[in-house]
Amino acid sequence: MATCDPHPHPASRLKLAGTPPGAGPFSPVTRQDYRDAMARLGAAVNIVTTDGPGGRHGFTASAVCSVTDTPPTLLVCLNKGSSAAATFHANGVLCVNTLAPEHEELSRLFGGGTPPAERFKAGHWRRAATGAPMLVGAPAAFDCRITRAVEVGTHDVLFCEVVNLASDGAQDGLIYFGRRYHAVGSGGEA
Ligand SMILES: Cc1cc2nc3c(=O)[nH]c(=O)nc-3n(C[C@H](O)[C@H](O)[C@H](O)COP(=O)(O)O)c2cc1C
């Protein structure tokens, strides 16, 4: 199960506190300014799923990235206030399903406001090795166990060791940029 590690790694060479001499003072960055700037940072869209003792759930996520290939590890940022949060912590496993352009509607469905059972009525799912739902037709799927969770503000950063991979051969991907979906790989729009 995921645990919260509030202590920085002992080998960290980062100075985590304080402002360098000569820097600042900094004027506060508002939540809205931050969100507007993040809208200009394009990111791949994924559906992150889980299943296990806590039940089945899934949500759309763009805050997913690689941490290291040794051991193969990625991270997922999960809103602590979302309907999915408790389920992911209870299960300790998840599957990151990357999306193709034809998954735009599925992404909207998993983007909140719908009960989990409704979400899984759309799309084709099979059971990954961890038990998490894997999307048939995903360009790539990363089946993971959650090894650590670190709380940062409104979100939990989930560090996930990849235990299994799948790819259904889809060539094109789906990204979110400027608060809209875009197809990548073929030069087309979603
Ligand atoms: C394009 C897109 C990207 C999103 N990325 C994330 C993300 O990285 N992490 C996250 O916790 N929620 C993300 N969300 C929001 C969740 O999908 C979901 O709406 C939120 O967790 C609330 O769901 P709930 O109604 O089940 O509580 C994203 C939504 C969209 C549409």
Rounded to 5 degrees, φ, ψ at 44 are: -65, 145
CATH number, residue 46: 2.30.110.10
- Of 152, 186, 20, 144, nearest in space to 78 by CA: 152
Residue 25 lies in a domain: no
Residue nearest to ligand 1 atom 4, measured at CA = 61
Quick one: tokens of 171? 């060539």
Which pLDDT score, from 0 to 100, does residue 73 have?
98
DSSP state for residue 30 in the 8-state scheme? P
Question: What pLDDT is recorded for position 4?
Answer: 45
Tokens read off for 184: 């990548």
List, chain by chain if needed, residues with CB within 6 Å of any ligand 1 atom: 45, 59-63, 77-79, 82-84, 111-113, 176
Position 169 confidence tier, pLDDT thresholds 50, 70, 90: confident
Domain encompassing residue 169? 31-180
Cα angle 84, 52, 142; round to 5: 75
Q: Is residue 160 a part of any domain in this protein?
A: yes
Q: Is residue 99 part of a domain?
A: yes
pLDDT band of residue 8 (cuts 50, 70, 90) is low
Atom of ligand 1 nearest to the CA of 64: 8
Is 10 within the bounds of a domain? no
The number of the ligand 1 atom at minimal distance from the alpha carbon of 111 is: 17
Q: Which residue has the tokens 């394009």?
A: 42
The residues that bridge with 162 in the sheet, in sequence order, are 144
Q: Is residue 3 part of a domain?
A: no
For the chain, give the percent of residues with pLDDT over 90.
81
What confidence tens digit (pLDDT) does each residue in 88-133 have? Answer: 999 999 999 999 999 999 999 999 999 999 999 999 999 999 999 9
Q: What is the pLDDT of residue 180?
A: 98
Query: Would residue 187 count as lying in a domain?
Result: no
Closest residue CA from atom 15 of ligand 1: 111
Residue 3 vs residue 170, higher pLDDT: 170
Q: How many domains does the chain have?
A: 1
Helix (H) or strand (E) holding 107: helix 104-109
Q: To the nearest whole number, what is the mean pLDDT of the chain?
A: 91
Q: Give the Å distance between the CA of 23 and the centre of ligand 1.
A: 35
CA 113 – ligand 1 centroid, Å: 10
Q: Report the C-alpha gap between 98 and 146 in whole angstroms.
A: 18
d(CA 35, ligand 1 centre) in Å = 14
Residue whose CA lies nearest to ligand 1 atom number 31: 111
Assess if residue 8 is contained within a domain.
Answer: no
Ligand 1 atom nearest the C-alpha of 81 is: 27
**Cα atoms in the Cβ-side hemisphere of radius 13 Å centred on 27:** 3
Among 75, 62, 55, which Cα is nearest to 150's? 75
